[in-house]
Amino acid sequence: MIDFAGIRQVQMRIAAIQEQFGVPGMPFQRKLDSEIEKARGVRGADAAAAHRDAAQDAAPKALRAAGAKGTTEALPIADKPLADLVREASAKFGVDPKLVSAVAEVESGGNQNAVSGAGAVGVMQLMPETAAGLGVNPYDERENVEGGAKYIKEMLDTFGGDVKKAVAAYNAGPQAVKDYGGVPPYRETQNYVNKVLDIYQ
């Protein structure tokens, strides 16, 4: 069953970040309201089935290789323009593009229109506060990918290049990783890390 508690607070946070970055609010708000109404129409097992089917549909697309200019290495992102954005952002911040694309795949299936129940936005599922701290507009696909790559780089630097800890920090936050001295004992984070590393390796 989908829990809509707090959805208005999420909408207010999204509206605030839209205003901060000068993103036109109404088209996005209408789209968000439309998606919420659609979700409300799906009940119980139907909701779980719809979510599962969407995830299964997205995975094969994202796992198909996409080439890019000047390189033959395939990334786990089906969309070539997105794969190119990942490569550019990765080069800009000195991060392995395969790692950035693996995070993008697990976060959103490479979908810039994805918005989580908690308010995370876009391909790299940036929280508005995180995006603001990174100096990027999460509603712009290029900036969203750049923000994600920059944040991954920050997490790698924070944890001495330890990819597993950096990926865990991307999901659970760096403080949780520091507190537990590694991947926190949260099922969601453990599953997330395993999925990212399976794609990355």
Every domain of the chain and the residues it spans: 7-158
Pick the closest to residue 110 from 137, 138, 86 (CA basis).
86
Note the pLDDT of residue 7.
61
- Mean pLDDT of successive 10-residue stretches along the chain, which has 201 residues: 55 60 52 53 40 38 33 67 96 97 96 95 96 97 98 98 98 97 97 97 87
Which among 107, 141, 146, 154 is annotated as catalytic? 107
Active site residue 107: yes
Q: Considering the entire predicted model, what is its pTM?
A: 0.65
Note the pLDDT of residue 61.
35
Tokens of 65: 């290789």
Tokens of 4: 């809509």
Note the pLDDT of residue 185.
96
Which residues, including other chains, have CB under 8 Å from residue 44's CB and lie 6 or more apart?
1
* Class of CATH domain 7-158: mainly alpha
Residue located via tokens 């599953």: 191
Residue 77: C-alpha distances to residues 46, 73, 102, 147, 196 (Å): 28, 12, 8, 18, 13
